[in-house]
A and B are shown apart, each in its own frame.
Chain A
């Protein structure tokens, strides 16, 4: 698998403040990586460096083999900023047409039709952006990021303004993109969402990578809970393999067993352990 994004020893300083302090991450082609961390951890800065919006103070970032910020790298990237706005006087179709021209995608109406359909805005294609809800604008932002079929999509809080149905739609969209081989770097505070769709997660804290891996690998065994006639009994050191033996022992001792749960720590547990606080 080739690399869609490689960041090596990336540093960014704003005067005396350090936003990134030697970050190394990689996103493979077709891989969906979640970027987590509290406010000020450097997530948005890293994404902006990868997009060429911010210049690193040190290190290097490559997009599909080209230096971040170069025209070649920009051709490979789709980006949705956390705080974005589109000119209110454009309608959805005009905005996508503008980005088709800027991208040099050569895409025509059929590409716009497909993108608008993908984000559920077909009926609103002629509506002015200033008359769209925040959620609709966010979905349009995702469509805009997909113009030109980018090989790497960087989404900064793409679901922050969406309702649960919209979030699920974005989740399905991300899974569809993965099937198509598009690499995605997803910056989100919604841990449950990241856990559901991401192949890997990277947790940043104070400009450094403090945890990285597959969500399942990061999670730790949390013991076995057994619901019996006399209440729930917790076996903190047990794992999946020990569960049948525990049940057999309880039944042999005259207990009625109603339910057995093999507990594992969630991504939220991993996150809190890594950064020392719940997501903000």
Chain B
């Protein structure tokens, strides 16, 4: 079933559209990066003695922004590959010929998830890697950690894929698409609240933001990934670096990854129970 889902993902035009948009994004990102570094280099020469590492600030900010764009594009891909996977496909008559086969609904669901998640995770890893290479080759700045941010993005879109698949069991395709994007927006808003709370020195806002990020771990993963970009930067540069948008760089600690796995397990369990009870 994963093979079927993988082929479906690859042969649907949505992937082509996303790839074209991604190519446009990466070209614009490259042009923007070249422009910014050009301006910063002339600025740094005028200053003479460097107090902060402008190259690191610009590089990490740009890669941080690209992480947000990558997460957003990955979310679009995840949603459009799964938004109608169960109820939508059942209403169109696509699901019944497959579900009557002797493979079990749980297997079917997990297969659909595996196919879509594989495509989305691979996609965000490649786009993130491309953004890092573009930034590094133009600005000569490389993130302190490469694997953690990439994996955090991949895990984030995997969770969003799971949420979208779970929603597809209960909601029509349109309603599910709206619901998942609203959840994504809720995560971003929570991150933004945290930044506002930090700026206003409001522990309550920061607590709300943290709780929301744990409840929607794709946001916590995104923030942890951002944090890993500049894990080793210290001094004045470390103070100046403020990555974002929609959630500052923040390490959520070692429990985040096990929680993400448990969260996915809970999503899978809810989806399987819901799917088993659904009349088709």
Contact = CB atoms under 8 A, between A and B. Distances in A.
A81 B101 CA distance: 13
Interface in A94-114: 98-99, 102-104
B280 interface: yes
Interface in B2-25: 4, 7-8, 11-12
Nearest to B90: A53
Contact of B102 (A71, A83, A85): A71
Size bracket of the A interface: 20 to 34
User: B4, B12, B101: which has the most chain A beta carbons within 10 Å?
Assistant: B101
B156 to A, nearest CB: 28
A208 interface: no
Contacts of A80: 97
A71 B105 CA distance: 10
B8 A103 contact: no
Nearest to B12: A89
A48 B104 contact: no
Interface residues of B, number: 21
A51 B279 CA distance: 11
Given A48-B280, A87-B8, A53 B102 contact: no
A85 B7 CA distance: 17
Contacts, number: 62
A144 B97 contact: yes
Nearest to A104: B102
A79 interface: yes
B279 A74 contact: no
Given A71-B102, A75-B102, A55 B97 contact: no
A52 B100 contact: yes
A86 interface: yes
A99 B279 contact: no
Interface in B230-280: 277, 279-280
B96 interface: yes
A117 to B, nearest CB: 21
27 contacts: A48-B280, A51-B100, A53-B96, A53-B99, A71-B103, A71-B104, A74-B100, A74-B101, A74-B102, A75-B102, A79-B97, A81-B97, A83-B93, A84-B94, A84-B96, A84-B97, A85-B92, A86-B94, A87-B8, A87-B11, A89-B7, A89-B12, A99-B101, A102-B103, A103-B102, A104-B102, A144-B97
Interface of A: 48, 51-55, 71-72, 74-75, 77, 79-81, 83-87, 89, 98-99, 102-104, 141, 144
Interface of B: 1, 4, 7-8, 11-12, 92-94, 96-104, 277, 279-280
Q: Which 10 A-B pairs have the closest CB atoms?
A: A102-B101, A74-B102, A53-B280, A89-B11, A54-B279, A84-B93, A83-B93, A85-B93, A71-B102, A75-B102
